[in-house]
Amino acid sequence: MIKKKILVTGGDGRFAKILKIKNKNLNLYFTSKKNCNILNIKSISNIIKKVKPDIILHTAGLSRPMKIHEKEINKSIALNIIGTANLVQVCNIFNIKIIYFSTNYVYEGKKGNYKETDPVKPFNNYGLSKLGGECSVAMYKNSLILRITMTEKPFLHKKAFSNLISNYMFHEDLVKILPKIINKEGILNVGGKTQSVYDFAKSKNSNVKKIKAKKRDNFPLRQDMNISKLKKFL
């Protein structure tokens, strides 16, 4: 059986680096900024003609630091919204499926247990930029939007919030389940166990110190998603 060829944008990114090392089941081709400029439709088209993928796994974009989405709005719009829209246009031309890496930040973050069908209301510019990307992807039916909550292993920070509830998983966890969901369509929440960020961090880094998010930190405290739909595919 011939495996579907998957072109990965953002080949130099944090997740892609783990995917390169840990992948065992997928036929992957990694791009870089040099051979695939997502702000240039011709550049995207050229790499598509060369690789001839069945699927584009769109992991490229702007994420950290979060403040950059407030300070450099044009850059955030270009990389997360326009770049994604360009990819969708090319996918439409060549009839290629696109899988888009979005975020739980598209939800308001106040009530928790968010389902894929719940209203979206991003609480910061990063969430808005990823939702903007989602809008273009959703217009194209041959697509899958993954609203992901993940981070690096081990937990990078020395402190973690004990009153902020989320669904963090590590990059390695997503690599394991990716082959089971690439053939799905629509929108899918992807994350791990619902727990405080501190409990998640403590499980892999015993030196993490517990702190509480305060109102002035401006963090919504219930960022957790309902992942019952995901569990059906695992």
pLDDT string in tens for the chain (234-residue length)? 568 999 999 999 999 999 999 999 999 999 999 999 999 999 999 999 999 999 999 999 999 888 999 999 999 999 999 999 999 999 999 999 999 999 999 999 999 999 999 999 999 999 999 999 999 999 999 999 999 999 998 888 999 999 999 999 999 999 999 999 999 999 999 999 999 999 999 988 889 999 999 876 777 999 999 999 999 999
List the domain range (segments joined by +) for residue 15.
5-155+168-192+224-231
Is residue 13 in a domain?
yes
Is residue 38 in a domain?
yes
Dist CA 78 CA 62 (whole Å): 9
Q: How many domains does the chain divide into?
A: 1
Q: Apex CA 191: angle with CA 64 and CA 162, to 5°? A: 70
What lies within 8 Å, CB to CB, of 209 at 6+ separation is 158, 159, 160
Is residue 207 in a domain?
no
Dist CA 115 CA 15 (whole Å): 24
Is residue 50 in a domain?
yes
Is residue 117 in a domain?
yes
Here the CATH number for the domain that contains residue 84 is 3.40.50.720
Is residue 199 in a domain?
no
Is residue 108 within 8 Å of 223, Cβ to Cβ?
no
Model confidence pTM above 0.85: yes
Is residue 198 in a domain?
no
Is residue 93 in a domain?
yes
Question: How buried is residue 16: exposed, middle or buried, by Cβ count under 10 Å (0-12/13-18/19+)?
Answer: buried
